[in-house]
Structure 1
Amino acid sequence: MIFDVSNPHTLQVTVLPEHIDVMRHTNNIVYLQWLEAVAWSHSSALGLGPSDYEAAGHGMVVRQHELSYLQPTHLHDELVLATWLTDVDKLSTHRCYQFIRRRDGQTVFRGRTHFVCVDIAQGRIRRMPPAFYQAYSAAVCAVADKDT
């Protein structure tokens, strides 16, 4: 498999019957669920899981998604979901995604998400706690610009 960056964080999934819509391919909402799953998996691997967000009283929320559905996926397709961080500042992170179908190595989806840090209790944008900034900035990958 050829990823857009070397050594992205990955998660494997299989398209199940409940993922299929009337068009007989994976429903768009499922891709959003997979974005969330692989992002949480990566964040947790960096030491920032949901309980860490709660303890810090801060969390990262979506400001904007860019989603490109490149090829449909179908029942029983096995996919590798890849994610990596491209930019981190004191208030936000920028995360990229690439989903590859295992059987043919085709990239079926690319996406980007801009997250901002918020105070959980007040719901207001705040600077990231130092632990967030250190973990996320240390994980930033250099990437060639890909069309999404």
Structure 2
Amino acid sequence: MSWDYPAPYILPLCAKPADIDEFDHVNNAVYVHWMEECAWQHSIDLGLGFAEYQALDRGMAVLRHEIDYLLSAYEGEQLEMATWIAHSDQRIRMDRYFQLRRVADGATLLRAKTTFVCIELSSGRPKRMPPAFVEGYGAVMLPPA
């Protein structure tokens, strides 16, 4: 399966009955949940799970989602959500790209971008990324276009 960018982190998914809405396809809010799950799993894989966030008193919080819903997903379909760290100012902001594909035919169902800001967990205020974030997230950042 080809992806929009090289070396994605990939989360396998399956559309469950609880994901389906009145239109008989996966509800749009479920896609956002899948993006969150994929981002967290990728962060954990990079050694930056919530325990590390707590120890550093820092976290990456969503500022903005931009989502293009291209095709519907249906119950029982095997899917793969991919993510990449697209950009980081290595101070406060970081962008992640997402792409959701159906395994059976390789069709892209969703493309998205999420902008995160680094916050101090104890205050909820924006704070500079600690070196562990710069190194961990920066190690897998896409090269500039």
The answer to whether the superposition gives a TM-score over 0.5 is yes
Structure 1: gaps spanning 5 or more residues: none
3-state SS in 1 of match to 2:94? strand
Q: Distance in 1 between matches of 2:42 and 2:73?
A: 23
TM-score, normalising length: structure 2: 0.96
Moved runs in structure 1, 4+ residues, more than 4 A?
none
1:83 counterpart SS class: strand
Could you say which residue in structure 2 is the equivalent of 1:113? 114
Question: 2: CA distance between counterparts of 1:26 and 1:107?
Answer: 14
Secondary structure in 2 matching 1:125: coil
Query: Percent identity among equivalent residues?
Result: 40
Alignment of 1:94-113 (within 5 A): 94-113=95-114
- Amino acid aligned to 2:137: Y
Cα distance in 2, alignment partners of residues 5 and 29 from structure 1: 25
Displacement of 1:143 in angstroms is: 7.2
AA at the equivalent of 1:7:
A
Residue 2 of structure 1 and its aligned partner are, at CA, apart by 1.2
How far apart in 2 are the matches of 1:95 and 1:53? 18
- Superposition pairs of residues 1-148 of structure 1, within 5 angstroms: 1-89=1-89, 90-142=91-143
Task: Give ranges in structure 2 of 5+ residues lacking alignment.
Answer: none
Q: CA RMSD in A?
A: 1.0
Partner Cα distance (2:14, 2:72) in 1: 14
| Cα drift, residue 7 of structure 1 | 1.4
